[in-house]
Amino acid sequence: MAVIDVFNGDADGLCALVQLRSANPQDSVLVTGVKRDINLLDKVTAQAGDIVTVLDVSLDKNRDGLNAALQAGAEVTYVDHHFAGDIPEHANLTVNINPASDVCTSLLVNGMLKGQFAEWAIVGAFGDNLRNSAMAVAKTLELSDEELQQLENLGIYLNYNGYGASIEDLHFPPAELYRRIAPFASPRQFMKEAAETFSQLEEGYNNDMRAAAQLPAVHADEVSAVFILPDERWARRVSGVYSNDLANDFPDRAHAVLTEKNNGNYLVSIRAPLNNKRGADEFCRQFPTGGGRAAAAGINDLPVTSLNTFVERFQEFYRSLSN
């Protein structure tokens, strides 16, 4: 029998798993990747009796892998907040899926564990740019403003580390980063006792964000804005957190951050307006490699020939939602 943990390589996936394994320590096989590597169950060859936990990746995108694991006789627990489609019914499948725009996987796990490791849930929510949700959980704890800011920063940095076209783009492979944070039941303890890891994330984030801030928008009005980042490692790393930053600075505007890929196409991060967190997943699913959730979604491979059409459709889509 094997214990297999399958999780998204961003802050939410990491923090969800840290909570679960802090409550129930296991020597598990880790299956993860860059944030956009979401077909993770395809990497799992499960056998009868295996215990598989899946965190923060869409069931709809992993349906074949899930069915294969269940047919092999594995027990699967699936916790997520992305679009799921039809959820199969199976005696070996336990599901906790909620696609609401103010929910993330770390918060769902926090509920399952009755707040046992709530600080990690707060970090995960901050990482997913769910600031109001993070603050709501924080109200149940006695945290100073400085401590809360530290948790927010950590969430942003963990999330930032997950972005890239490949593991080589990242400061830390997500499995390695998980192993570095997993020993700490408290994120504040991690930041104090693993200060070198934290500092590397913080420095990388600050450097990359300064570079992104120099780039002008290719389109911007009161409803939507589009930015294009170059095909460079720093740009691939910063694409998602830069999108979150723009959303926070302009909460009534939708944002698209496109990063040039080495095949000539674009990787796209979409953020719905913070004051109207709708439609990002719906818009992205119009494209063959698109998906995500209502507040934040993406397209893995937008053809360069579709750029003008994309910009026009993005403007029109969010203008229609604002009326």
Res 157 pLDDT > 80: yes
Count, residues in the chain = 323
Where are the domains positioned within the chain? Answer: 3-204, 219-322
Average pLDDT over residues 100-122: 97
Six-digit token string for 261: 């890929």
Distance CA 97, CA 214 (A): 39
For tokens 């799992």, name the residue: 44
Note the pLDDT of residue 260.
95
Res 323 pLDDT > 80: no
Residue range 1-50, pLDDT digits in tens: 899 999 999 999 999 999 999 999 999 999 999 998 989 999 999 999 99
Q: What percent of the chain has pLDDT over 70?
A: 100
- Alpha carbon 190 to its chain's center: 21
Note the pLDDT of residue 286.
92
Confidence of residue 139 (pLDDT cuts 50, 70, 90): very high
Is domain 219-322 in CATH 2.60.120.260, yes or no? no
Note the pLDDT of residue 117.
98
Average pLDDT over residues 96-104: 94
In DSSP terms, which residues pair with 269 in a beta bridge?
257, 298
Note the pLDDT of residue 101.
87
Average pLDDT over residues 269-294: 92
Element at 65 (helix H, strand E) = helix 63-72
Res 224 pLDDT > 90: yes
Note the pLDDT of residue 239.
85
Q: Considering only CA atoms, which of 160, 146, 240, 145 is closest in space to residue 198?
A: 160
Which strands form 51-55's sheet, in the order they lie side by side?
29-31, 3-7, 51-55, 75-80, 93-97
Q: What percent of the chain has pLDDT over 90?
A: 91
Confidence of residue 209 (pLDDT cuts 50, 70, 90): very high
Note the pLDDT of residue 212.
93
Average pLDDT over residues 181-191: 97
Given this chain, do its domains 3-204 and 219-322 carry the same CATH topology?
no
DSSP letters of 209-240? Answer: HHHHTTPPPSEE-SSEEEEEE-SSHHHHHHHH
Is domain 3-204 in CATH 2.60.40, yes or no? no
Q: Considering only CA atoms, which of 62, 48, 9, 63 is closest in space to residue 31?
A: 9
Which strands form 224-229's sheet, in the order they lie side by side?
219-220, 224-229, 254-260, 266-271, 296-302, 290-292
The whole-model pTM stands at 0.87
Neighbours of 215 (CB within 10 A): 14
Give the mean pLDDT of the chain. 95
Note the pLDDT of residue 244.
87
Q: Cβ neighbours of residue 320 under 8 Å, at least 6 residues apart?
A: none
